[in-house]
Every structure is written in C-alpha cells, then in structure tokens.
Amino acid sequence: MTSFDVAKPETPWVIFGPREAVEFKEQTAALRAAGGRVYEVHARDLTDEAGVLAAFARAVGVPGYFGWNWDALVDCLDDLHEAVTGGVGIVVVVHGADVLLGADHLKVFMMVLCLAADRANTAVDPDGDLRNQPVVIEHFVFLLDDVRAEEFAAGIKDPDVVVRVEGDFLTVALDLDVWRPEAAGRPKVF
C-alpha cells in the first residue's frame, strides 16, 4: 500500500517510481475514469529550464501571455481550467526520468511542481488565505527505467520540501511547516 493516490487532491504532489508500477497504472486509470486527464512528456525534453517550459507548454497548453520562466510555470499549472483538467484534474507522467538524475535544475524543478500542485490541490494559497478557485487534482509522476527512486533523494533534498523514500517510490511535497507555519495548510483565522 502506498501513501499516495494521484486520483485525489492529496500530498505528495511529485512521485518517482518504477515505470512498471501497478499503482501508477491503476491510479491514472481511476483519474481518467472520473473525467481527469493524463498528459505525457519525456524526460529527454526536460534537461534544462527552457526544455521543461517548452515540454509543459506543449503538454498542458499555456496562454499566449505565458512568461516562459519558472514563476510563469507555477502560475500556469496553478491556473488550469476545466478545458484542461476535465473538471477533475490532471497527472503529468514523465517517461525516462532517469536522465534527470544529477540535473542542475532538479531542485528548482521539483519546487516549481510542488508549489503549483499545492496551490491547485488546496483551498488555500501559499500564505494560508482562502482561495476563490475550486480545488483541481494535480500530480506529477516520474517513471524510472533503471535508476532506483531513492537515488534522486539527495538531488531533491531541500529545506522547503519533504522528500520521503517509500519502498520503490520517492515522494516530494512542500514542507508546510516552512510554507505555512501558522496555518499548516488551513486558512488563517482573523
């Protein structure tokens, strides 16, 4: 049993695991059955910031005013609408993720995905204030061919995220003690 379910708006937001993992197949099938969307990209297109931005722009679509930087990607992924999410949610599946091991941008890439997914999956913004947008399921699955998920842990470890090794899987989510220490994921009370 895993602690993640990409068909639900629950942490963790980013999961690394073996490409043949049954959990990924079952959970993405459940999301599709509920009306959600599964987008696929290949890690060979994600080897630098420009590649990440272009690949995600192609996969999920971006508005014409997209800023072509990390902040713009967070905003775009956070602001997905019903036409993209099917009104339910999305999972972006990254094939061949082994090539990202040791990439210079890996930490910032993981942070961007966690920020975007945290904002999309929760009813509060990063400051703990209530949002006026509906919750949209959003997860990122990195499929590994030969590299074990735990080998990515050191390259992703950062004070802003929680990185956990769970058997064959590595999970990543924002550390809410850092991002919302007072609210811890709940709206502020005034």
Residue-level pLDDT, tens digit, the chain, 190 residues: 688 999 999 999 999 999 999 999 999 999 999 989 999 999 999 999 999 999 999 999 888 888 999 999 998 888 776 566 667 889 999 999 999 999 999 999 999 999 999 888 887 766 667 777 777 899 999 999 999 999 999 999 998 899 999 999 999 998 877 776 565 444 443 3
Residue 5 to residue 23: CA distance in whole angstroms:
8
Q: Reduced to 3 states, what is the DSSP secondary structure of residue 174? A: strand
Q: Kindly report the CA angle at 114 between 102 and 183, in degrees rounded to 5? A: 135
Candidates 142, 149, 166; CA nearest to 3 is 166
CB proximity list for 46: less than 8 A, separation 6 or greater = 52, 55, 94, 100, 109
C-beta neighbour count of 7 within 10 angstroms: 21
Neighbour order of strands in the sheet with 161-166: 37-42, 89-95, 137-144, 14-18, 169-174, 161-166
